[in-house]
Structures are given as structure tokens and as C-alpha cells.
Amino acid sequence: MAQTPETILKEIRGKKFKPLYFIHGDEPYYIDAIADELEKRVVPEAEKGFNQFIIYGKDTDLTGVLGYARRFPFMAERQIVIVKDANKLGGIEQKEQQARLEDYALNPAASTVLVLCFHANADERKSFIKAIGTHGAVVQSKKMYDNKLPDWVAAFCQQEGVKISPKAIQMLVDNIGNDLKRLSNEVRKIMVNLRVDEGIDAAAVERFVGISKEYNVFEFQKALMQRDVLKANQIASYFSANSKDNPLSPILIILYNFFAKLLLAHASKDKSEKGLAAELGVNPYFVKDYLLAIRNYPLPKVAHVIHYLRECDSRLKGLDGVSIPESELLKELVFKIVH
């Protein structure tokens, strides 16, 4: 059974190494993060020239990799062999070669840490992968659900030793989406430009990431929530004029998620801030927004808004056979939601 990336990273940082790692999945962030952490910690810097090997799958085959894995480290306790794009290894799909890897996995070299970075989802039921799990670690790096992103950004910032405001988190998540590598890079880019005692707020995101503090999806959602017709139309016009940086499809997803949660908020028996935060899975900071939206959007209106969003998505995809500019669709959608 696959272990979580977070568990494995914690073990590695505690210098608890396994002889074999098989990291697979459709989220490259954790595949790279685990490989980088092992590269940093397994072999001391002075020994890396002789005992650290970075190999690319397209440049070799399984026979070559196992050859590296079975050699002894040079005047050192251990060596590390990292195979990037292991899904492109010659022979990796052949049962006969998988059997060779299985044999190695059942009796791995004690002085080698072999890391297979498989940049695709693998079938963990295969016997060679099960064998890797016997003495090593099988780790699946899955794409993160959008509703988990705010907590992930908050945890990442805590790990990096920087405070971040809920609004700054939401701005990053709404505008970048579930690209963990880019999210982490943007946070680090902001950190480089901050004072030691300074946290990340909305102004810092605007200044260093280039996301407008006034004209972003977060503020657009807020204007709709408040039924602020003027502000909603101003932001919609800005999006239309800058459609390359503000495509309609991601905006619809964010709005749909908000109004779907608003539906849950209406149905919730416990409408206290703590109760709604738990029910909706949101930061308590944002609960007041849902309480305001409950007042501004009665239950029947919320159902209508969800219908308008689905309708807009279908028209955007041309499912009705008519091509309509995104700017027109967005303008019409705003009118239907706030009126």
C-alpha cells in the first residue's frame, strides 16, 4: 500500500532512509520534492562526486540502473541512485525485466538508496511494485483537490517559517490553481522579497506575484456575494479586457464551488462560525462571507445561480452549437446572478 508523500518526507528529514523508493503519480511536485530531499540528505556533500548518480530513464534501461544499484559506494557508507522519468526506462514495461527488478527489490543492496521517479500513475497491484514495498517505499503523488489547496498553502508557509493571511492564500489559490510547484515557487519568490519579521499579505501577493489586489477572482466572488453590481461589472470588464490572464473556465469552477458550498450553508443546522467552518471545510476567517451570502441569496436563488453557471459552462464549450465570446457570456452571467 502506498505511503503518503508527507510521511515519507518526514522520515527522510529525520534521516530514516529506505533502500528503495518508487514514487509515482500525476502530481510532479511531491515526486520532485522527495527526490530532492533524498539527494540533499543521503550522501554528504563531499562524497557526492563518487556516490551520487542522477540518471534519466530515456537514456538507459533497467539493466543499467540495476548495475549502478549493485555497485559498492566508494569509501563511504552509502550511495544514492536517482532515476528521473523512470516510466521511460528501457524494458520497464516488459514482464521479464520487471521480474529482475522484483528480484532486486526483495534483496536490495544495503548500501544503496535507489529512487525511481515514475512520472505517471502506476498499477500498484503489479508484483514488482508490491516487492518494492517489502523493504522500500511505494509513494503515490496525487493531484490535489481544489478544496484542499488553502490548507496546503498554509501548511507549506508554516513549514517555510512565514506567516500568510487567509486573503493572500485565497488570492494565490484562486489565481494559480492546483499547480503545487508553481504555488510553492511563488511563495518562495515572495519570501525572498520580505523582511525577516514580515508575513505574506494580499499586498505582497499583488506586488510580487502580479495578481491584482482589486481585480482578481477572489474580489470578483466577493462582489457577487455582496451583490455589488458596480464592482462585479468593473471586475468582469477587467477580466474581459485581459482574457488571456483571466480565462472564463477557471472562474466558473471557482464560482460553482462557492455557490455549491452556499447551498450546504443554507442546509446546515449549525450556522455558528465554528459550525459552518467545519461543515464547509473552510477557514473560519471566511465564514462571515457565507453568512452574508446566505442573507443576500435565498435558497431558491442559489439553485438558480448554480443553473446559470452550468448553462454558461455549456455555452462556453459550444454545446448549444453557437459560438459566443467569453466577454458576452461573463457579462450575461453577472447580470443573471446579481439580479
CATH of the domain at 288: 1.20.272.10
What is the domain extent for residue 87? 5-141
Contact 129, 123 (CB under 8 A): yes
Contact between 133 and 108 (Cβ < 8 Å): no
Residues 136 and 155 in one domain: no
Domain boundary among 160, 187, 209: 209
Residue 105 shares a structural domain with residue 154: no
Contact (Cβ atoms closer than 8 angstroms) between residue 146 and residue 170: no
| DSSP codes, 208-256 | HH---SSSSHHHHHHHHHTT-HHHHHHHHHHHHHTTTTS-HHHHHHHHH
Distances (CA, A) of 162 to 153, 166, 207: 11, 13, 17
Q: Examine the domain organization and report whether 36 and 126 are in the same domain.
A: yes
Q: How remote is the C-alpha of 269 from its chain's centroid?
A: 32
Same domain, 67 and 124: yes
**How far, in Å, CA of 187 to CA of 173, rounded?**
11
Q: Mark whether 168 and 245 lie in a shared domain.
A: no
From first CA to last CA, the distance across the chain in angstroms is 52
Q: Is there a single domain that holds both residue 54 and residue 155? A: no
Give me the residues of the chain with pLDDT under 50, please: none
The C-alpha cell at 14 is 529525520
Residues 110 and 204 in one domain: no
Report which of 102, 109, 103, 110 is spatially closest to residue 70, judged by C-alpha positions: 109
**Which of 165, 180, 209 corresponds to the end of one domain?**
209
CA–CA distance, 168 with 18 (Å, rounded to integer): 38
CA distance 221 to 252: 10
Q: What is the CATH number of the domain that holds 137?
A: 3.40.50.300
92, 113, 141 - which closes a domain: 141
- pLDDT tens-digit readout, 98-134: 999 999 999 999 999 999 999 999 999 999 999 999 9
| 221, 128: one domain | no
Q: According to the model, what pLDDT value does residue 1 have?
A: 56
Instruction: Give the integer Cα–Cα distance in Å for 263 and 266.
Output: 5
Domain shared by 184 and 245, yes or no? no
Residues 226 and 316 placed together within one structural domain of the fold: yes
Task: Give the chain's domain count.
Answer: 3
> 204 and 225 share a domain?
no
On whether both 46 and 91 belong to a single domain, the answer is yes
Residues 6+ apart with CB under 8 A from 254: 174, 217, 221
Which set of grid coordinates corresponds to residue 121? 500513475
183: domain CATH number? 1.10.8.60
Q: Which burial class, exposed, middle or buried, applies to 61 when counting CB atoms under 10 A from its CB (0-12, 13-18, 19+)?
A: middle
Grid coordinates representing 220? 470578483
Strand order in the sheet with 20-25: 52-56, 79-84, 112-118, 20-25, 137-141
Please give the DSSP secondary-structure letter assigned to residue 120.
S
Q: Which is it for strands 20-25 and 137-141: parallel, antiparallel or unpaired?
A: parallel
C-alpha pair distances (Å), 4 with each of 10, 85, 118: 10, 20, 15
